[in-house]
């Protein structure tokens, strides 16, 4: 089974081809092409939707052609075309989904209208031999949630952010201190020379029942601390970055540990704990989650950093899994700016 994947939900234009020889065979990434728009958005300190959509229009066709060329295939050899149908910036989602529909229609291939979050959710199965069910911490610029993954289209949410996503908190904190864009890697780099114990930032919801998250109070505390410094020096910035990152890690670990206790009641060993999404590329977060997994009898599984950030290989893989499960979409599949994973029980297409 060979699937072309297209990703355009935010500021990466991407195309990839993923294959699996048979049901029990290991997946292979035949090509994975990503065009980052970081330089175009950096002057604004964040993603500008109009600029992102225009870049997708200008580059996506060429990226698809390059992905097919690197895979050494023609369109007749594809078994399906997967494209992100949401959630995301609606202009970019429309560009990618329409591109996928055009290819699928022209070459008479099944269309897979993929939920971007499902791409992240299933990405660990592209790189690791992970069986269902597994516990997932999905952390990105727009999302932060803990879910039990039971199979393609089957997700049970244990907790989600009540306000800001953790990736947004990283970006806003970096922007506050002029560390650059994207904010996650910038904060991580600054924190390496910082003293995490200098500032006692709040750990929102830590110790509370449930598995939900909150990061707005932490963002506010960071801003108040930074604004109170008369003349912030590089060491002050590094200390704030390290203290902020430590607070985020504490919250993620404590909330995840609560989810692990709930998941233990449903699954016998081995118990995989998957961390996915762009923020899962953070080394300190991975280290802290790994220690928590060891303490609670889980195994941390995280895709390589290149597959944590937005990419088309994960979209192709999610499409492959959905096609194998008998879940193709028709050409009426609608682009969506919002699309919770729990809604995947309802088809993307109107039937």
In terms of DSSP bridges, do strands 12-20 and 2-7 run parallel, antiparallel, or are they unpaired?
antiparallel
pLDDT at residue 23 tops 90 = no
Cβ neighbours, 10 Å, residue 73: 17
CA distance 317 to 169: 29
Torsions phi, psi of 225, nearest 5?
-65, -45
Torsions phi, psi of 300, nearest 5?
-75, 130
CA distance 321 to 42: 35
Provide mean pLDDT across the span 57-80: 97
Quickly tell me which residue has 């935010």 as its tokens.
Answer: 10
Provide the pLDDT confidence category of residue 348 given band limits of 50, 70 and 90: very low
3-state SS record for the chain: CEEEEEECCCCEEEEEEEEECCCCCCEEEEEEEEEECHHHHHHHCCCCHHHHHHHHHHHHHHHHHHHHHHHCCCHHHCCEEEEEEECCCHHHHHHHHHHHHHHHHHHCCCEEEEEHHHHHHHHHHHHCCCCCCEEEEEECCCCEEEEEEEECCEEEEEEEECCCCHHHHHHHHHHHCCCCCCHHHHHHHHHCCCCCCCCCCCCCCCCCCCCCECCHHHHHHHHHHHHHCCCCCHHHHHHHHHHHHHHHHHHHHHHHHHHHHHHHCCCCCCCEEEEECHHHHCHHHHHHHHHHHHHHCCEEECCCHHHHCCCCHHHHHHHHHHHHCCCCECCCCCCCCCCCHHHHHCCCCCC
Which tens digits make up the pLDDT trace of 272-291? 999 999 999 999 999 999 99
CA distance 111 to 225: 50
Query: What pTM was computed for the model?
Result: 0.93
Provide mean pLDDT across the span 314-322: 98
Contacts of 268 (CB under 8 A, 6+ apart): none
Which tens digits make up the pLDDT trace of 214-271? 999 999 999 999 999 999 999 999 999 999 999 999 999 999 999 999 999 877 777 8
Mean pLDDT, all residues of the chain:
94
CA distance 215 to 300: 23
128: closest CA among 324, 301, 278?
A: 301
Q: Which residue has the higher pLDDT, 348 or 146?
A: 146
pLDDT of residue 87: 96
CA distance 342 to 339: 8
Domains and CATH numbers, the chain: 2-124+310-345 (3.30.420.40), 132-302 (3.30.420.40)
Which tens digits make up the pLDDT trace of 40-53? 888 887 888 899 99
Which tens digits make up the pLDDT trace of 165-214? 999 999 999 999 999 888 999 999 999 999 999 999 999 999 999 999 99
pLDDT of residue 21: 83
């Amino acid at each position: 089974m060979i699937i072309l994947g297209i990703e355009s939900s935010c500021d990466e234009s991407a195309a990839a081809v993923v294959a699996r020889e048979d049901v029990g065979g290991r997946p292979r990434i035949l090509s994975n092409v990503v065009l980052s728009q970081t330089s175009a958005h950096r002057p604004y300190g964040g993603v500008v939707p109009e600029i992102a959509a225009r870049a997708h229009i200008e580059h996506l066709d060429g990226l698809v052609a390059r992905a097919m060329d690197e895979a050494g295939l023609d369109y007749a050899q594809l078994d399906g075309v997967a494209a992100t149908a949401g959630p995301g910036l609606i202009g970019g989602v429309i560009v990618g989904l329409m591109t996928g529909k055009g290819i699928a229609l022209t070459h008479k291939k099944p269309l897979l209208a993929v939920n971007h979050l499902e791409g992240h959710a299933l990405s660990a199965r592209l790189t690791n031999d992970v069986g269902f069910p597994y516990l997932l911490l999905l952390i990105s610029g727009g999302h932060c949630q803990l879910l039990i993954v039971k199979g393609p289209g089957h997700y049970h949410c244990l907790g989600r952010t009540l306000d800001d996503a953790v990736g947004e908190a990283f970006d806003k904190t970096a922007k506050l201190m002029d560390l650059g864009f994207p904010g996650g890697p910038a904060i991580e780099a600054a924190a390496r020379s910082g003293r995490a114990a200098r500032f006692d930032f709040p750990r929102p919801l830590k110790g509370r029942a449930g598995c939900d998250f909150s990061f707005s109070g932490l963002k506010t505390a960071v801003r108040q601390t930074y604004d109170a410094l008369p003349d912030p020096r590089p060491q002050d910035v590094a200390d704030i970055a390290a203290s902020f990152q430590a607070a985020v890690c504490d919250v993620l670990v404590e909330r995840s540990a609560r989810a692990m206790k709930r998941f233990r009641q449903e699954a016998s060993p081995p118990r995989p704990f998957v961390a996915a999404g762009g923020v899962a590329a953070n080394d300190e977060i991975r280290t802290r989650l790994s220690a928590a997994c060891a303490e609670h009898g889980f195994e941390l599984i995280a895709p390589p950093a290149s597959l944590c950030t937005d990419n088309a290989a994960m979209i192709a893989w999610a499409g492959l899994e959905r096609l194998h499960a008998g879940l193709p979409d028709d050409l009426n599949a609608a682009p969506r700016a919002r699309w919770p994973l729990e809604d995947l029980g309802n088809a993307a297409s109107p039937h």
